Structure 1
Amino acid sequence: MCSPRFPLRSLRIPLGSLREPQNQKHMKKLSLFTLLGWIIFACSSPSHDLLITNVNVIDIVTGEVLLNRTVAIDGDEITAIYTKTIKPQAGTEVVDVTGKYLIPGLWDMHVHNNWNYEDTNDLLVANGIVGAREMWGDMKIRRKMDEERASGKPIIDIYSAGVLTDGAPKIWPSSAEVTTPEEAEALVRCQVAQGADFIKVYSRLDSACFFTIGKTAIELGVPFSGHVPDSVSIIDALAAGMLTSEHLYGLQELGYSELELKEVDSLFEVGNRIEALQKGLKFFDSSAMKEKLQKLDLSKHWFSPTMVTLRGVRSMQDSVFTSDPRISYLPNYMTEDWKPRRTMGSQRMMPSLELMQQLYQNDFQILTNLIESKAQIIAGTDYPNPWAFPGFSMHDELEIYVQAGMTPLQALQTATLNPAKVMKNDRIGSVEKGKLASLVLLNSNPLDDINAIREIESVVLRGKVFDRIALDEMLQEAKNKAALPSLMEWFQTVQDMPKELMALENKLDSMSTKYHLSGLEFLINYVGYNLLGENALDQAMEIFALNTRMHPHSQNVWDSYAESFLMQGDTVNAIQYYQKALDMYPCNHVIEKRLLALKP
């Protein structure tokens, strides 16, 4: 029986009502209808799009388990959390999850997702990852993902850096390189204007460029994060306002004396890498590191350890990792670089497995020191680096944090509450009214055992429920796609590659069921440049033009198309297409310099 609650003032009788009304019968009917209306209004259940009933909600802030709640969702938002049973209205979707546990969706705070999201997105969702911090952004790809998300596709949310910003000589060919403070400032301003959420700094920046990047980013109201450069100490990086640092870089040196640090650095400078690593292990003093940490103001800085990648890189010769069955979910192009020879150079220069394991134990000790020092930590995996599996490895990362001394609640916070703080996003991070309805439903309590996050019953992504059947279908589809032969295997069977590529434009759908088409853009470019080298200019131009039709949003293909004109002496068309490429992403200073050199 409903017990409607009326405001007390609604039951007060105005003095004027004590007089007999002229039409008493009419007034009695009106009062009766009014009272019935109040009762109906008070007794009716509110209408919602989705009700998750009988669920145990994990309060991610306090660690309290709120038993037997009903979570109401409308659109992409949590609109209420009820302690009582709510009668569903017509059209309301009801999911009864008696005995299950609800946590906020997880965020992976260090990923390289841009160039592989079509192969990894479903793996992320199926493992409870609802958002990621992209550490090497491409605004064109980000806009494409935004469009797909807006169309209803289950694309995770992205918080993105601009282009990776390095010093000279840059480590990665497609990253940006700055050598003066003026270049550094201009690049930051350009990236922010293009929509970057933060600036990613890298290892070879000199100190002047690093500090200029930091100053400019702070002036523009965006964070700067990434590698602590070789030229800057972790102490100076924190003082400059660096928001997050990755991979524990710069922390090892806190365990050295000044003389020991100089000795290790000198060994690296002369190329004696293995001896430098051995000396570093010998010199490292954990107590000295903790003592220095206690003297630092860590309140405005966050560490992203990426332990699964540190462990993976240190374990590339370990069959325990190289036989991991989760590799079946990833296409060959993602795992080819996991082989030691490709990643670390020749086998002769590869440190022994014993030394690599010692290095990982040292990494683990540094993580333990951070936890004991109450440093602020965010969880990131750095996939697809060696043995960092999209989605799956976030569970591994949190398990490592617990092994290093965190409580399960603290570990969960590194992938939920803490990311919300870092990104200043008050719509995520907890299960509360007004928050984004991106959630993970677990079969058991993760506060008892962090490995409960591996046993996912359902994922809610912006209000849409993906049950266990749907998640398993995502995983199976990813595995089926990963098993397809690569384009390189097709390449080796073709006699007349230019002819086959030209025909491919009209049969992509049928090809996609037989081969994994990732890397098609680069294969077409490869063939085009080979034809240029053979002086088959007309064919080369056709191939480059084909690539612009098949990948019209790629700056790289328009840049190559422009270069093909330039190689034939056609500066007019070269300028036209270099400009088109630059318009796609004005922060590419390499193309900008080419244009300046060509224009009269």
Structure 2
Amino acid sequence: MKVVKWGAGVLAAVTCVVLLVWWAILPPALDVPGGREHIISGVTVINPGIERLVNQSIIIRDGRIEEIRARIDSDPAPVCEGCFALPGLIDAHVHTPPSFIVGNQRLFALMYLRYGVTSVRDVGQSDASVVDFAASLNDGQIVGPYMYRCGPVLEGSPPGWPVARVVDTAEAARNAVMEFADRGVDCIKVYNEVNEESFRAIRAAAAERNLPLIGHVPHSVKLGIVENFEIQHFTGIPYLASARPPMGWDYRDEDIEAMSDADIAALGEIFIANRLSITPTLANHTLRLTDSDIERFPPTAGAAHLPAFWTDSWKLVAGHPQGEEAVMRRIATQPRYDAIVAELHKAGVDVLAGTDTLMPWVVPGESLHLELARLEKALGSPEAALKAATVTSGAHIAPGQIGTLRPGARADILVLRDDPTVSLSALSGWTVVIANGRRYDRETVDGWLARYDAHFHGVLYNTVVSGLVSRLAKRFSHRHAED
């Protein structure tokens, strides 16, 4: 009996220690602002590519824009004189960290807000926890952007996405779409190995449930067959007539490089005829070079906010150019990627702004600014790039709800001291962000991020989480190399 009591006491003590450690490695709780009624006065309202209204006041009630009108004397003082109001930025392509990476979901959410991102779309959940996390964000229980989500990726055999739902028949494909729709997803995403029969069933079911269909152009389907589809990255584009890439590849730099000017010109006609759009994730291509050679391609400034274990973990998430020839090809082909986007834009194709956050060195929030810099080159102006991250992405993700400053839209607003249509550098100087009607001042958000920096780089977190994850990543990489 004494042994049993002693054992129970030890178990209770160990349980208490584990719970205390778990509590200690959770990030500090942040107070979500409660008020959702504001007047932002004396601003120049910019809806990129649509309109510019000078000296306006934006009236917000219950988290929605109630009215935009000329400023009057009884309005409160401006947040800042001569400031500009821009729709909150939208990242149309993100992946949320799984819940077992303790605290990183909340860290990513805060970092989105720090860079002015007020809406994100998770296009392939890492685990089931994303459902509750999105609900907590959207209900205002957690600081961060509003989150839309596609649920699990739909894939064929063998699956290229590790946590995908495999659908190898039309019946399984349709049932999966209906199940996801009943669970409240905002979109349906397909991947490389979906066969043509399943793809057609997915497309029909998604249309029936009024859900946008997005993803990778399946290799067996090819670009000419795909309709009413938002293409992620450049999948399908180099393979109009040529054979698919080797198994395990979405597409390769050398296949983009091999496309002729005539091939690129033909894309516009196909996209318009088949009602296709594209989220190119241009910055994603170059950011992965950090995994190729971290000394030669050092991490961006924003990476300093992430826990140390990501340096090793990203090597397990996705591939990167290996060897000098591959690195130089990656660098040399970037203008070709830009040229494809430019040609599609010129043809009238919708270009959305997305980053593929969670991929190697694609830092939440910051990477959207880098994407906009690339889109400025491809689309021809800062305003065209801003339109991709506001008006265009909003029209594809939640029409009438996000992406524009207009009565009835959700109150997602960036207040900037400088004109972002003159220089995208103005985005980094925001002074107030309104996200889902909640006001966040720059000083407050910067203070929160400083607290998170201290937590995620502290001795306890590094010892318990970063140390463990890094060791597991290195061990997995070693075994994978031996295989």
Name the structure 1 match of 2:305.
Answer: 329
Residue aligned with 1:293, SS: helix
Name the structure 1 match of 2:258.
Answer: 283
Q: Distance in 1 between matches of 2:271 and 2:414?
A: 36
How has the CA–CA distance of structure 1 residues 74 and 94 changed in structure 2, closer, same or farther, with 3 Å as cutoff? farther
Q: Distance in 1 between matches of 2:168 and 2:65?
A: 48
Unaligned runs of 5+ in 1: 1-47, 491-514, 524-600
How has the CA–CA distance of structure 1 residues 444 and 268 changed in structure 2, closer, same or farther, with 3 Å as cutoff? same
Could you tell me how far 1:469 is from its partner in structure 2? 0.6
Could you tell me how far 1:281 is from its partner in structure 2? 5.3
Residue aligned with 1:475, SS: helix
Instruction: Specify which of 193, 199, 210 is matched with residue 182 of structure 2.
Output: 193
1:298/1:375 contact within 8 Å kept: no
How has the CA–CA distance of structure 1 residues 114 and 489 changed in structure 2, closer, same or farther, with 3 Å as cutoff? closer
TM-score, normalising length from structure 2?
0.80
1:308/1:387 contact within 8 Å kept: no
Residue aligned with 2:389, SS: coil
Instruction: Specify which of 160, 163, 170 is matched with residue 171 of structure 1.
Output: 160
Residue aligned with 1:397, SS: helix
Residue aligned with 1:466, SS: strand
Which is greater in Rg? 1
Match status 1:134 vs 2:110: no
Could you tell me how far 1:516 is from its partner in structure 2? 6.3
Superposed CA RMSD in Å reads 3.2
Q: Distance in 2 between matches of 1:69 and 1:354?
A: 49
User: One-letter code of the match for 1:77?
Assistant: R
RCO higher in structure (CA 8 A, sep ≥6): 2
Name the structure 2 match of 1:153.
Answer: 142
Q: Which 10-residue stretch deviates more, 194-203 or 69-78? A: 69-78
Q: Distance in 2 between matches of 1:453 and 1:278?
A: 31
Could you tell me how far 1:214 is from its partner in structure 2? 1.1
More helix by share: 1
User: One-letter code of the match for 1:352?
Assistant: A
Name the structure 2 match of 1:437.
Answer: 411
Match status 1:457 vs 2:431: yes
Q: Distance in 2 between matches of 1:322 and 1:445?
A: 30
Name the structure 2 match of 1:225.
Answer: 214
User: One-letter code of the match for 2:342?
Assistant: T
TM-score, normalising length from structure 1?
0.65
1:487/1:518 contact within 8 Å kept: no
Name the structure 1 match of 2:234.
Answer: 248
Instruction: Specify which of 335, 355, 371 is matched with residue 397 of structure 1.
Output: 371
Q: Distance in 2 between matches of 1:282 and 1:449?
A: 31
How has the CA–CA distance of structure 1 residues 459 and 488 changed in structure 2, closer, same or farther, with 3 Å as cutoff? closer
Name the structure 2 match of 1:471.
Answer: 445
Unaligned runs of 5+ in 2: 1-35, 99-103, 473-483
Could you tell me how far 1:146 is from its partner in structure 2? 1.8
User: One-letter code of the match for 1:176?
Assistant: R
Name the structure 2 match of 1:316.
Answer: 291
Name the structure 2 match of 1:81.
Answer: 68
Deviation string 1:143-201 (CA, Å, 9 cap, x unpaired) is: 34424543553332111102111111112332211222222122112111121221110
Q: Distance in 2 between matches of 1:186 and 1:385?
A: 30
1:128/1:459 contact within 8 Å kept: yes
Q: Distance in 2 between matches of 1:345 and 1:145?
A: 30
Could you tell me how far 1:338 is from its partner in structure 2? 3.3
Residue aligned with 2:292, SS: coil
Deviation string 1:293-329 (CA, Å, 9 cap, x unpaired) is: 2354257322000111122235533545334232111
Residue aligned with 2:225, SS: helix
User: One-letter code of the match for 2:177?
Assistant: V
Q: Distance in 1 between matches of 2:322 and 2:46?
A: 48
Q: How high is the sequence identity, in percent, across the aligned residues?
A: 23
Q: Distance in 2 between matches of 1:376 and 1:443?
A: 29
1:341-352 pair list within 5 angstroms = 343-344=318-319, 352=326
Instruction: Specify which of 417, 423, 442 is matched with residue 391 of structure 2.
Output: 417
Name the structure 1 match of 2:4.
Answer: none
Could you tell me how far 1:439 is from its partner in structure 2? 0.4
How has the CA–CA distance of structure 1 residues 334 and 95 changed in structure 2, closer, same or farther, with 3 Å as cutoff? farther
Deviation string 1:454-501 (CA, Å, 9 cap, x unpaired) is: 2211111222221121121133233223313576843xxxxxxxxxxx
Q: Distance in 2 between matches of 1:366 and 1:234?
A: 15
Could you tell me how far 1:447 is from its partner in structure 2? 1.2
Residue aligned with 1:415, SS: helix
Match status 1:408 vs 2:382: yes
Q: Distance in 2 between matches of 1:295 and 1:225?
A: 17
Could you tell me how far 1:419 is from its partner in structure 2? 2.1
Could you tell me how far 1:277 is from its partner in structure 2? 5.2
Instruction: Specify which of 26, 38, 50 is matched with residue 62 of structure 1.
Output: 50
1:575-590 pair list within 5 angstroms = none
How has the CA–CA distance of structure 1 residues 281 and 227 changed in structure 2, closer, same or farther, with 3 Å as cutoff? closer
Name the structure 1 match of 2:81.
Answer: 98
Name the structure 1 match of 2:246.
Answer: 268
Residue aligned with 2:263, SS: helix
Could you tell me how far 1:230 is from its partner in structure 2? 1.5
Q: Which 10-residue stretch deviates more, 430-439 or 352-361? A: 352-361
Q: Distance in 1 between matches of 2:468 and 2:411?
A: 32
How has the CA–CA distance of structure 1 residues 488 and 126 changed in structure 2, closer, same or farther, with 3 Å as cutoff? closer
Could you tell me how far 1:236 is from its partner in structure 2? 1.0
Q: Distance in 2 between matches of 1:109 and 1:73?
A: 25
Q: Distance in 2 between matches of 1:474 and 1:223?
A: 35
